[in-house]
Amino acid sequence: MTRLATLLNALHREPRTLAELSAELGSSSAALEGMLQTLYAGGYIQDAAPQQDGCSCTGCSLKSLCRNAEADLPPLNLLRLTPRGEQYLRRQATHV
């Protein structure tokens, strides 16, 4: 299983915090945070409880490229898979 699939699989079961993922996967929060930000920007994961007062682009996979969105990605709290993340895991399961 790839590192990406391992990380997404950990989120597949239920929403998790960075600290919970770090403990489960045996990796530092600092190491995971970069991967999670990349997955967030790519539309594979999202905040399980998105804030209502932010940009209307919240959860958009193109937010990191959008001129109208904030330059920095939001801090990641409770994370869950998006439909794109679920689809990735299904494709990985059929290729094993």
Domain that holds residue 83: 3-94
- CATH number, domain of 76, equals 1.10.10.10
pLDDT number for residue 81: 93
Average pLDDT of span 59-87? 69
pLDDT higher than 90, residue 43 = yes
Q: What total number of domains does the chain contain?
A: 1
Can you give the pLDDT at residue 45? 93
Stretch 73-95: mean pLDDT, rounded? 84
Between CA 82 and CA 89 the distance in angstroms is: 11
Average pLDDT over residues 22-44: 91
HEC string for 39-94: HHHCCCEEECCCCCCCCCCCCCCCHHHCCCCCCCCCCCCCEEECHHHHHHHHHHHH
Give this prediction's pTM: 0.68
* 57 contacts 80 by C-beta, under 8 angstroms: no
Q: How many whole angstroms separate alpha carbon 68 and alpha carbon 11?
A: 29
- Which whole number is the average pLDDT over 68-96? 77
